[in-house]
Amino acid sequence: MNTTVEPFAGKKALIIGCANERSLAWSIAKHLHDGGAQCGFTYPSPALEKRVRPLAASLHAPIIAPCDVTQDQDIDQLFTTVKETWGTFHILIHSVAFADKENLEGRFVQTSRAGFQKALDISAYSLVALARGAEPLLEPSSSIVTLSYYGAQKVVPNYNVMGVAKAALEASVRYLAYDLGKQKIRVNAISAGPVKTLAAAGIRNFRDILTANEEKNPLRENIHADDVGALAAFLCSDQARHITGTTMMVDSGAHIMAF
């Protein structure tokens, strides 16, 4: 007798922002796939397509589509592809963030206007644009999950404009949760502790952040990408059917510390 439980059997999940096998988005995709979901993926450029396509193919993804989230026509084309392939779907994972390297070091006050706009556009507004495109295709009881970081709430040296962008992202989660709630679409964020990813590599002295976090958090250990995948799977499941508009922490308790 097969007693395997697949909470996402028959569900379809669109993963935005998977860059490589160390991405938090990849961990989320694996958890959803292991739970029975069919996953589709996007990539922002040909360079990243070379990394994403083999991963997506390993999960037998029916959608592996280009999407530059700064381009409305790309987003429109993505959801045309989703509609043609799936009709409707159930889960949208948003794992997209970017800031120019020069704005992730030194003083925040030196952030350029163009750098500020780019960081907010890619890291925060993209969630709004993707939610708008996804809304007509999302089934009732669907879930949108995005990824944030504690730098949205407290100052993390060298996180700079990305902290402001993540603050805007978390506020967007609350407003989207209100807007989409009548359609029974839930919107939540995960605020993850520091993890070695491609995105983290752009933050100056990231190794120091990892070391300090491990020394000071209550559990005295850093999290793993798998922890984020497990929490995302929970938020996308029926067990979280009345959780929306929240930012949930998975950081070994670092957020409760005063120093």
Q: State the catalytic residue, choosing from 43, 125, 159, 175.
A: 159
Edge-to-edge order in the sheet of strand 138-148: 64-66, 38-43, 12-16, 89-94, 138-148, 186-192, 247-250
233, two tokens: 């799977």
Helix (H, G, I), strand (E, B) or coil at 227: helix
Whole-angstrom distance, CA of residue 107 vs CA of residue 127? 27
- 159 given a catalytic annotation: yes
Helices (H), 137-253: 160-180, 206-216, 225-236
**Other C-beta atoms within 10 Å of 245: how many?**
17
Can 175 be counted among the known catalytic residues?
no
Question: Please, are residues 119 and 99 in contact by the beta-carbon 8 Å criterion?
Answer: yes
- Please return the burial class of 97, using the count of CB atoms within 10 Å of its CB with bins 0-12, 13-18 and 19+: buried
Please tell me which residue in 149, 150, 175, 178 is annotated as part of the active site.
149
Cβ-contact 118, 104 below 8 angstroms? no
- Please answer whether residues 251 and 191 qualify as being in contact, where contact means their C-beta atoms are separated by less than 8 angstroms: yes
Q: Which residues are catalytic?
A: 149, 159
